[in-house]
Structure 1
């Protein structure tokens, strides 16, 4: 959203101040104040009539004195030889008997009277300027046209991105759960697009989990229920106290197994709700991994950490409790499926920290590498039994921290390599 804010401020500044300055400069260089031709002709005709009137008056100065102060026009008499004009202009004036000159501030009319006196009539130029002339209208329209163009150029990518987001949301709502948006590097709403993708992924995962939970409940609960039913039927027909006690213990074991499974289901169902209350803080990964390695190392299990001298400075923004549980699950998984050798590799590239957990087991078959992160999916060579929740929980924690979790073949040991990618804390 920062890019959207900064670009909007830039466009407003450039369009209002920059375009205003540009159009004003063009106007000053190319547009001259236009004069109303009809008003100028009337002024010239008025000067001719005034010259004819003065030519017939004996006391011209009295008329001029009476004129002064009562009109916007200034009237005066000057001797021909007192005029400050180039000789060629004076000669032209003698031939034409009148002359109209324009300066920056006024319009002057000169008329030659019979006694070589010159009638000078002056008026402010503002009286002859056109109001709302075509040039002013043109430059006004030019400014608003450029202003509108700037905003359209800026708004077009935003409108296109919003339209794409709307179509993606509609498709997702129609059931296309694989619908995602590929954010552009210069997108105004890249943060919103990324959040949409995260939301879509969470919803798709939840729907997939519901299907898996339904399958797990029908499969894992049906077996102990059948055993309990069989035990109850047998108890009803058994008279031997010793056998009755054995059947009761088996029933009790099955009930405990069902209780453990139901508790596991409830804990997993609470994960999404728990996500809302996680506390994020800067966390040093190397120190956390060393602590976990020391905790799970035994005489039968050797855990080694590989990191360069720059890795102690790497931190991520996350919840220490859940990140500890994430790496604990990966380490325990490597111990359960391995042969006692675990290597944790820590590195970073392009603003991301990469944690690899290697084991020396039999690895994960290609066809199971995607399904292994689903709940209640268990590997084929587990050292101990479980419900297949550990890796599903790890996947959820990584997603909460906007990271990635994948599995492949280890290039160091003979088994699997779980790869965790998390964004580096820049704060």
Structure 2
């Protein structure tokens, strides 16, 4: 919106002040070049008439005859009754016409040196102003047309992008959740387009997650519910104390399993809330990862980890602890014997790499397993609901970190890397 506001102010200032200044200068130049061109015929006529009268003896009689036969009004004035500034006297006394103007008339003066008189040719002011009025009207029309043209040139891209926004929003509202607005750096509403795309991505993710949640609930609850119903029916039909105790234990186990699933659903739902508060501060990844590894020590799995030089990022320690605990738990679940944890740094980035010697993840499944309640192909005998890596992906997104899944060249299994920006 800043770009839109700034460009609007700039275009208005340029249109009004810039165009006004240009047209004003053009009009002034035209006036200076053509100031008295329209009076040239009258000046030539007056010059001839003045030379003629200067040789006549009875000029008053000539003037009277002229007035009765011609439209142009001429009068005589004594030279001593027409004082002039010194700057005008020299040229006027040498025979150059002198033009003076009032609101209603234009007066062209010619000197009669032999008669000590001045011949005055009087013209209506309309003679000069008619052309000026047309010129002013033409320049005014050019001014407003140019402003409209400039505003149209400015508005066209804006209207184009707004129509694109409307078209995309309409398609998105009709259920085409994959629709996005192409981002152009020259757009006036780039901020709005970027925010729309973020909103659309967020909604698409939520809708997709809700579908997955619904499928997971219907699938993972169906089995314990069926066992629970069977156990209750069997419990009602038997009077054997040992069998009743056995059925009660099975029912209790099924209820515990459902409670765990509901707890997992609630935890993931909390992560999906829009009002999650991220309290970021400086975090030493070496210390954080060491604490996480200490909670995962097992006699069956070896975790290879050597502290590197200080690796400081800015983030929320609680959520990052959850992220690395989930990564390590996932590696432990699928690893055969060994897990490696390493930190690599560049001038601008810090990467945490967690690898295992398990079966790995095929490329076609790497994107899918980051969705909630989605598990890989090698999970038949593995406990879990497929939510851990979805939590990892979501927390990484909150910290502007890049999550990448690859094959481990060292251990042969899966390799997860989380890359943070250095601050």
CA distance in structure 1 between the partners assigned to 2:31 and 2:115 by the alignment? 39
SS at 2:110's partner residue? strand
Cα distance between partner residues in 2 of 1:340 and 1:333: 13
For the pair 1:367 / 2:364, whether they are aligned, the reply is: yes
Offset at residue 387 of structure 1 (A): 1.2
CA distance in 2: counterparts of 1:421 and 1:3, whole angstroms: 32
- Give the alignment of 1:182-261 within 5 angstroms: 182-261=182-261
Residue 358 of structure 2 contacts residue 413 of structure 2 at CA under 8 Å; is this kept in 1? yes
Residue 84 (1) aligns with residue 90 (2)? yes
The corresponding residue for 1:302 is: 304
Q: Structure 1 residue 166 and structure 2 residue 166: aligned?
A: yes
In 2: Cα distance, 1:13 partner to 1:346 partner = 53
User: What pairs with 1:248-327 in structure 2 (closer than 5 Å)?
Assistant: 248-273=248-273, 275-279=274-278, 281=280, 283-284=281-282, 287-288=284-285, 290-297=287-294, 298=297, 300-304=302-306, 312=312, 315=314, 319-327=316-324
CA 1:398/1:3 → structure 2, altered by over 3 Å: closer, same or farther? farther
TM-score when scaled to structure 2?
0.74
The change in CA–CA distance for 1:151 and 1:412 in structure 2 (over 3 A counts) is: farther
State how far apart, in whole Å, the 1-side matches of 2:76 and 2:402 are: 88
Structure-2 separation of matches of 1:41 and 1:327: 99
* 1:113-132 matches, cutoff 5 A: 116-119=115-118, 121=120, 129-130=128-129
Q: Call closer, same or farther: CA 1:122–1:295 in 2, change over 3 Å.
A: farther
Q: CA deviation at 1:371?
A: 1.4
SS of residue matched to 1:110: strand
Shift of 1:251: 1.0
Counterpart of 1:407 (choices 387, 405, 414) is 405
Distance in structure 2 (CA, Å) of the matches to 1:74 and 1:305: 113
How far the C-alpha of 1:422 sits from its partner, in A, is: 5.9
Cα displacement (A) at 1:145: 2.9
Asked if structure 2 preserves the Cα contact closer than 8 Å seen for 1:278 and 1:319, the reply is no
Q: 2:393 aligns with which of 395, 398, 412?
A: 395
Farther off after superposition, 124-133 or 185-194: 124-133
Deviation of 1:13 after TM superposition, in Å, equals: 3.3
TM-score by length of 1: 0.74
Structure 2 portions without partners, runs of 5+: 62-74
Q: CA deviation at 1:19?
A: 3.0
The residue that corresponds to 1:68 in the other structure is: none
Cα distance in 1 between the residues matched to 2:371 and 2:187 = 33
State the Cα distance separating 1:221 from its structure 2 match: 0.9
TM-aligned CA deviation for residue 290 of structure 1: 3.8
Q: Which is worse superposed, 155-164 or 408-417?
A: 408-417
Provide closer, same or farther for how the CA distance between residues 412 and 148 of structure 1 changes in structure 2, counting only shifts above 3 A.
Answer: farther
1:41–1:362 CA distance, 2 compared to 1 (3 A): same
Q: Is the 8 A contact 1:76 1:121 kept in 2?
A: no
Q: Is the 8 A contact 1:35 1:128 kept in 2?
A: no
Contact 1:329/1:394 (<8 A) preserved = yes
CA drift of 1:295 comes to 2.7
Q: 1:142 to 1:225 in 2, by over 3 A?
A: same
SS in structure 2 at match of 1:326: helix
Residue 84 of structure 1 aligns to a residue whose secondary structure is helix
- Residue 403 to residue 296, structure 1, CA distance change in 2 (3 Å): closer
Count of residues in correspondence between the two structures: 387
- In structure 1, distance between residues paired with 2:272 and 2:376: 25
Whole-Å separation in 1 of the counterparts to 2:160 and 2:307: 48
After TM superposition, list the pairs within 5 Å mapping 1:30-179 onto structure 2. 30-32=30-32, 55-56=59-60, 76-77=78-79, 84-85=90-91, 100-102=97-99, 108-110=108-110, 112=112, 116-119=115-118, 121=120, 129-130=128-129, 133-179=133-179
Give the Cα–Cα distance (whole angstroms) in 2 for the partners of residues 153 and 380 of structure 1: 57
8 Å contact kept, 1:183–1:193: yes
Evaluate the alpha carbon distance shift between residue 28 and residue 354 of structure 1 in structure 2; reply closer, same or farther with a 3 A threshold.
Answer: farther
Alpha-carbon distance in 2 for matches of 1:157, 1:401: 35
